Amino acid sequence: MYHRLVQKLEALATAPHLTNANVSSKLYKFYFDPPPCFIAKLSPELLSEIFILRCQGNLSNASVIASVCTRWRDVVIAESRLWVSRISVDVDDLGELCAVSYIHSPSMLLSTALRRWETIKLDFCFVTNDVHGKALAMSLFSTLLQHRSRWRSVYLCVSPLSHVIIPWCYKRDFCSLESFTIDIPGCQEPVHYEWMYDLLSKIGHAPSLASLNAPIFPYNLSHRRILPSNAFSQLTHFEAQQCDLSSFVELILSAARTSLVSCSVTSFAFSVPFFQAAFLLPKLEALTLPFPGSNSFYYDRVFSSLLVPELKELTLCGHFCRNGGEMELIRRLIKKSGCQVKKLQLAPMTVTDLEFARSILVGIPLITLTDT
């Protein structure tokens, strides 16, 4: 830019036929109305392809590009392919965008983007923490809730959980929701238990929910008085870091028993569950549970009652105690179910204990230890 300006000035200085007025006019036009760069010559179709490669589904990238000039903004808004992928709603990103744009608040920016996506299902990630302030986080989540009927895949990373509140009257509006994941950094069970119960009791009404991942699955949540009879009827993947044992039993007795393909529970909070002779899970292929034998008599009874004929991968975490009879319970589970377990992962243990496990479970071709 500066090199070209110097060249122009030198050329004007050596042109004797130009008056001072003509020189001033040409300098003004060159500085304030420079010739377009080569990018300005690109067609809207080519710009669209470039923008798609750079910012498909990313609210931050699309908004930055749209703020460059009016022409680029029009191209971004008109290109529908930019708005059909997963979006990220990070409060920090939205704040930075508002600082360099003409939109005064993150909530207004998010609302503008969601109106642009009014014809599609929403796959989004919502990230906030206590540093951002409760008012801002709740305002953003309230904006997302206005489009709850379009939610399809949702990932919430929030702390504290009180930042996300769903009114009870909304419970039947999540008709498109297929996947729901919530992560609470530094989650403390007593603090978040009631909030998690309140949140999941509404999400559980989603008729198409296929994947549910939560740090806590509270007591009595799966009970038929809380959720409809067809709750979790489409659920294929369930994961919880801590699950109440009674709620786990209610879950595998619910409509989910015929659809679950993978189930993972790291630890149980114990309450007295309802027992029956067998809990049949006909499609379950991958199962992660705590070690039996060293936790609770009630859990051992539930573990011994599982029937998983299609089970292929079994992972057991927690404390291993050879005197607790864990391996015998595992062997009985596999034998009673008639399944062909191809991979068994055990919590870290000594080499001696691992060899002991292999000697009891001789029919499993691969027995390894988990990382944690």
pLDDT of 247-280, one tens digit each? 888 888 887 888 999 999 988 887 666 666 678 8
Domain spans in the chain, listed from the N-terminal domain onward: 1-35
Give the N- to C-terminal CA distance of the chain in Å, as an integer: 58
Residue 29 has pLDDT above 60, yes or no: no
Rounded to whole angstroms, how far apart are CA atoms 71 and 280? 60
Give the three-state DSSP class for 83.
helix
Instruction: Give the three-state DSSP class for 171.
Output: coil
State the pLDDT at residue 1. Answer: 47
Mean pLDDT value across residues 104-127 = 73
Write the pLDDT tens digit of every residue in 208-256. Answer: 999 999 988 887 765 556 777 778 889 999 999 888 888 888 888 887 8
pTM for this predicted structure: 0.73
The pLDDT tens digits of the residues spanning 48-82 come to 888 777 775 565 567 677 767 778 877 877 776 66
Structure tokens at 171: 């419970």
Report in angstroms the alpha-carbon separations of 355 from 297, 347, 351.
26, 14, 6
DSSP 221: T
The average pLDDT across 8-37 equals 56
Given this model, what pLDDT does residue 369 score? 77
**Residue among 270, 229, 222, 266 at smallest CA distance from 247:** 222
Distances (CA, A) of 267 to 77, 159, 223, 241, 243: 47, 22, 20, 6, 6
The C-alpha atoms of residue 113 and residue 64 are separated, in whole angstroms, by 13
Beta strands in the chain (DSSP E): 87-90, 122-129, 151-159, 179-183, 211-217, 237-244, 262-269, 279-280, 286-290, 306-307, 313-317, 343-346, 366-369
